[in-house]
Chains A and B, each alone.
Chain A
Amino acid sequence: MPDIKELQVNGRVMPVEADADRTLLNVLRDDLDLTGTKYGCGEGECGACTVHIDGVAARSCQRKVGNLAGKKITTIEGLSSGGKLHALQQAFWDVGALQCGYCTPGMIMSALSLLKKNPSPSEAEIVRAMDGNICRCGTYGRIVSAISAAAKQIREAK
């Protein structure tokens, strides 16, 4: 399979030289040094590798880069702007919705996708939307609180 020559990541066109069969996860991490996106299971079961492709949450371990030419990819590194954390990132930190933090980028990317579709989700809606993400440290209750708090803050800022 031919190589892919560039990817659009976090608003920039980035040159790469990657076998088209490689996963987006590996190319992001190993070629583009965007290591905020994590490997957790390689089967799309844990959500640690969640990124957005054309604004939709996707498991980057399940996507081959060959199919992503021209697609707009957003990773956790693309969320903060001008050194200021995104409301979700700030809420996760403030609420203490993390322990080891390894699942956190994937959690935040999944939560961002939820808030785009539903700016004021109920707790039950958050649980349903986030159930594909694993936090082995068990901070789920706090993550629900952080997402609720961020949603409120984003609504009020508008």
Chain B
Amino acid sequence: MKTQNEFVSDYVIEPERYELHAAPIYNFNFTRRRFFKLMGGGVIIVAVVSHALAQQESGRRGGGRGGGNRPREISAWLHIGEDGTITVFTGKAEVGQNIRTTLTQVVAEELRVPVSAIRLVMADTERVPYDAGTFGSQSTPQMVPQLRRVAAAARESLIELAAEQQKVERDVLVIAGAKIKNSKTSESFGFGQITKGQKFMKTVVDSVTLTPATKWTVAGTPVPKVDGADFVSGKHQYASDVKLPGMLHGKIVRPSSYRAKLASLDTKAAEALPGVTVVHDGDFVGVVAPDSLQAERAAKAVQAQWSSGSQASDAQLFDQLKRGARVTKDTKPELGENGDQKLSATYTIAYIAHAPLEPRAAVAEWKDGKLTAWTGTQRPFGVKAELMQAFGLTDDKVRVIVPDTGAGYGGKHNGEAAIEAARLAKTAGKPVKLVWTREEEFTWAYFRPAGVIDVSATVTREGKITSWEFHNYNSGGSGIRMLYNVPGARTESHNAAGGSPLRQGSYRALAATANHFARESHVDDLARLIKMDPLEFRLKNLTDKRLRAVLEAAAEKFQWGRAKSDEQRGFGIAVGTEKNSCVATCAEVSIDRKSGKVTVVRVTQAFECGAVLNPDGLKNQNEGAIVQGVGGALFEAIRFADGKITNPRFSDYRVPRFSDTPKIEVVLLDLKESTSIGAGETPIVGIAPAIGNAICAATGRRLRSMPMAPDGLKA
């Protein structure tokens, strides 16, 4: 049993389920000579973090080594070539969160150059330093300060070199507009004039003067996606678009259900097809062919029998997750001690799918015993480690290249497609592309964990919450902390006794969505119990300044309290925090009493993540999270029976569309004096409870299962 008490620091992040077995310790022992051999002359500034900090900053778990003599690790570097071109190397991956743009902005800011002057090399294991992965909203808090440091150090180094070259005092030199200017003579030089013929290298740890947020002119502004032209023109190559000479197309013959084992196999018919090779290795069966249709035909021609025992179905899911737990089923309020009202209730959360529009895909190539894989993943080095393990390869024999990817939402931490493509390519003797079908993505990827949450609380007539007990079974401990002031509040996260019947893993905000849904729904019911306005009730029990600030900002913009809920229209509010950023969400829903159709009409969300790096990108993340959150709140659910997913298609698994999109207003609280915090996840946690509270305000019905209204509100 995993227990998390309410005093856990905001900075502690629930271990991402798929990081637990990952990451070999990986020290990049780049020598000066190797750096210049790789990149040519010029100026190289290397960001170095101590090992303990590297673990913390790269999101890696586990204690640092004790003692003062900690090894250092390279986390990023910046190169200014002899021609003045600026290239930054980082292990972070771009998956639609627009971190490429944000990181470019902070470098541009410190180097005093336009964003167009900078190129970022990301997520290529042979060209960038080790990085544990792009998850946990860590790219901004980790990589932003590191890149600011290297860029600021580069700026200072350029001045130093220019002063030497021009034989002037460094005080007379300033960098502005991508030029080094002599303030006395008004002469100016391009960076290339200074870096030409240089082999200057410097490492930075900290103690570099950084430009404060109040003085930012590039960071903190709404810079559009830096390489946006490539995306709107179809030019950008995702992993699934990569093509190599002689490349074949692969297809996997999938088991009949989860955990099924191969019982018998007949590949004759498939092998008789022109150009087809069948690959069989243990329970792995796949085919390669010159084109994807032929590969499909070959896979169908393979005669495979699979055996599996009987498995769980969604009908028994929640009983299974909670087996052996204390059960609190009473949802009727009762009188507790001291005349307090007591309310206990059980909430359930279904499995949902990430369903990134680009399914898992990889191109694998073997050349002279070395494997190169192009794939879409949030963990390039994790996938590299998986490939090394799967094929018994040493570190220098695997390279993983991650082109900017067609989204992940926490769903692309693993290298399944890369391993499969590599296995096929190994036998085929040619490069192989494998693109999972939508059905495969829905069936063989992993899901956001399902969960059962028991909550029991008491409240005084005056509106103070006096006790809080909260148990989450299976979906996890993220965002479980009780935000309101309740002495002795107890929150616990329990693993499911019998394990999860389906493969589960990370998802945007992890369990924080489930835990916020249960907490904010329950708190709303406590307010209702004593007939207090839900905003007033929350503020009465909340002292955290940041949370009060977002709550008040959202309520003000939404004009909370101006209109009253009625039978057709409801207003709901929720507040929360996760990954150290704060969110408050107000929702207006309309309900068609005849059909039971629920429409989310309007959402106002206030968000605070320290100093804002790109207000438009941040708004975009908030809007997207709200839309995605509407799906999980109202209608998304994976259905399964006997180890098979029964709705593995967009025609059966409903995701939010244009017509589901509310009018959205985002209010950003920009704290220039604070450090910048990640924002890819937290904006999703407020929408489900806000919608549930709005439905309850209109109908008096409390919906305690996510999704709340997959078929509308039944009479």
The interface of chain A, by Cβ under 8 A from chain B, is 18-19, 21-23, 26, 29-31, 33-43, 45-46, 48, 75-77, 79-80, 85, 89-90, 92-94, 96, 98-105, 108, 126-128, 130-131, 133-144
Contact = CB atoms under 8 A, between A and B. Distances in A.
A106 to B, nearest CB: 9
B657 to A, nearest CB: 5
B357 A141 contact: no
Contacts of A134: 357, 650, 655, 657
Pairs A-B, 5 closest by C-beta atoms:
A36-B234, A100-B96, A138-B627, A102-B406, A101-B231
B620 A142 contact: yes
Interface string B491-529: 000000000000000000000000000000000000000
Contacts of B625: 138
Interface of B: 95-98, 222, 224-225, 228-229, 231-238, 240-241, 243, 249, 291-294, 355-359, 404-407, 409, 435, 437-439, 616-617, 620-621, 623-628, 649-651, 655-659, 661, 663-664
A142 B623 contact: yes
Dominant SS among interface residues on chain B: loop
A95 to B, nearest CB: 9
B292 A30 contact: yes
Given A35-B241, A80-B233, A136-B357, 14 more contacts: A26-B293, A30-B291, A36-B234, A38-B406, A40-B357, A42-B438, A77-B234, A98-B231, A101-B231, A101-B404, A102-B356, A131-B657, A137-B624, A141-B623
A136 B358 CA distance: 10
B433 to A, nearest CB: 8
Contacts of B235: 36, 77
Contact of A85 (B225, B233, B620): B233
A131 B661 contact: no
A89 B229 CA distance: 8
B241 A29 contact: yes
B234 A35 contact: yes
Contacts of B650: 40-41, 43, 45-46, 134
Nearest to A100: B96
8 contacts: A30-B292, A35-B241, A36-B235, A42-B437, A100-B405, A102-B356, A131-B657, A133-B658
Contact of B234 (A21, A37, A139, A142): A37
Contacts of A130: 658
Contacts of B407: 99-100, 102, 136-137
B96 A96 contact: no
B560 to A, nearest CB: 22
A90 B234 CA distance: 13
Query: For B225, B294, B406, B659, which residue has the most chain A Cβ atoms within 10 angstroms?
Result: B406
Given A33-B243, A85-B229, A38 B357 contact: yes
A131 B627 CA distance: 14
A139 to B, nearest CB: 6
B358 A100 contact: yes
Contact of B658 (A29, A100, A131): A131
B169 to A, nearest CB: 44
A17 to B, nearest CB: 10
B220 to A, nearest CB: 16
A138 B628 contact: yes
Nearest to A99: B96
Contacts of B651: 43, 45
A136 B620 contact: no
A130 B656 CA distance: 13
A99 B232 contact: no
B661 A103 contact: no
Nearest to A34: B234
B243 A101 contact: no
A128 B658 CA distance: 8
A135 B228 contact: no
Nearest to B649: A43
A30 B628 contact: no
B357 A46 contact: yes
B234 A105 contact: yes
Contacts of B626: 138
Contacts of A144: 658
Given A101-B406, A130-B658, A134-B650, A22 B627 contact: no
A133 to B, nearest CB: 8
Contacts of A76: 233-234
Nearest to B238: A102
A45 B442 CA distance: 14
B225 A26 contact: no
A102 B96 CA distance: 9
A96 to B, nearest CB: 5
A33 B233 CA distance: 14
Contacts of B658: 126-127, 130-131, 133, 140, 143-144
Nearest to B409: A136
B233 A100 contact: no
A89 B235 CA distance: 12
Contacts of B355: 136
A24 to B, nearest CB: 12
A141 B628 contact: no
A89 B232 contact: yes
Nearest to B223: A96
Contacts of B616: 96
A133 B658 CA distance: 8
A139 B233 contact: no
A75 B233 CA distance: 10
Query: For B249, B292, B405, which residue has the most chain A Cβ atoms within 10 angstroms?
Result: B292
B356 A89 contact: no
Contacts of B249: 30
B627 to A, nearest CB: 3
A138 B234 contact: no
A42 B292 CA distance: 13
B231 A104 contact: yes
B243 to A, nearest CB: 7
A43 B620 contact: no
B232 A108 contact: yes
Contact of A40 (B97, B438, B621): B438
A100 B229 contact: no
Query: For B97, B232, B237, B620, which residue has the most chain A Cβ atoms within 10 angstroms?
Result: B232
Contacts of B243: 30, 33, 35
Contacts of B406: 38, 100-102
A39 B437 CA distance: 9
Contact of B236 (A33, A101, A135, A141): A101
B228 A141 contact: no
A144 B624 CA distance: 14
B231 A140 contact: no
A10 B621 CA distance: 35
B357 A139 contact: no
A33 B356 CA distance: 23
Contact of A99 (B98, B234, B237, B659): B98
Contacts of B240: 35, 38-39
Contacts of B228: 92-93, 98, 101
Nearest to B227: A101
Nearest to B356: A136
